[in-house]
């Protein structure tokens, strides 16, 4: 499952970039909404499946034991620090997306168009997009340190 998520995050970033491009340069508010709601719902499902896999099915620490950056006996090393960093970004990204999507669905008119909520949405949307990029790159770093190196 972790291998699938690593690859899928590349496509998530592409979809995120396309969504931002669509709304910023093409003023395609409907397209932006559909992409963002679809991404949020898909990522929520994948997150739940991923957490089930990591905690109940696949012991990632056993797989990472071969890494020179992980000590399975003490559960320490660069792998653990990279995972901690990734989890900080992942947690803040989840919280931001949840707030942004719920508020957008509640506060934007239907069909979506600029409104009094736009300023909040743009500011926090940019922050959430940056956080998603940091989540992805820190996840890739963890993956490389734990399973590839």
Tokens of 78: 């660069």
pLDDT tens-digit readout, 69-81: 999 888 899 999 9
CA distance 113 to 40: 20
* Residue 113: domain span: 2-148
Name the region of 67 (left: φ>0; alpha: ψ -120 to 50; beta: rest).
beta
- pLDDT on residue 58: 78
> Tokens 């993956």 belong to which residue?
143
Name the region of 81 (left: φ>0; alpha: ψ -120 to 50; beta: rest).
alpha
Number of domains composing the chain: 1
CA distance 67 to 109: 51
pLDDT tens-digit readout, 95-138: 999 999 999 999 999 999 999 999 999 999 999 999 999 999 99
- pLDDT on residue 55: 78
Q: Model pTM?
A: 0.92
- pLDDT on residue 132: 97
């Amino acid at each position: 499952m972790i291998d699938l998520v690593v690859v899928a995050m590349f496509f998530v970033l592409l979809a995120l970039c396309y969504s931002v491009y669509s709304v910023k340069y093409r003023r395609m508010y409907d397209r932006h909404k559909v992409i963002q709601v679809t991404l949020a719902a898909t990522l929520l499902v994948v997150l739940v499946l991923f957490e089930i896999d990591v905690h109940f099915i696949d012991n990632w620490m056993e797989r990472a034991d071969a890494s020179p950056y992980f000590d399975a006996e003490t559960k320490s090393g660069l792998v653990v620090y990279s995972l901690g960093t990734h989890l900080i970004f992942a947690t803040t990204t989840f919280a931001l997306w949840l707030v942004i999507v719920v508020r957008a669905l509640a506060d934007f008119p239907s069909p979506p168009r600029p409104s009094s909520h736009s300023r909040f949405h743009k500011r926090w949307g940019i922050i959430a997009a940056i956080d998603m990029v940091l989540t992805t790159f820190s996840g890739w770093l963890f993956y490389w340190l734990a399973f590839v190196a």
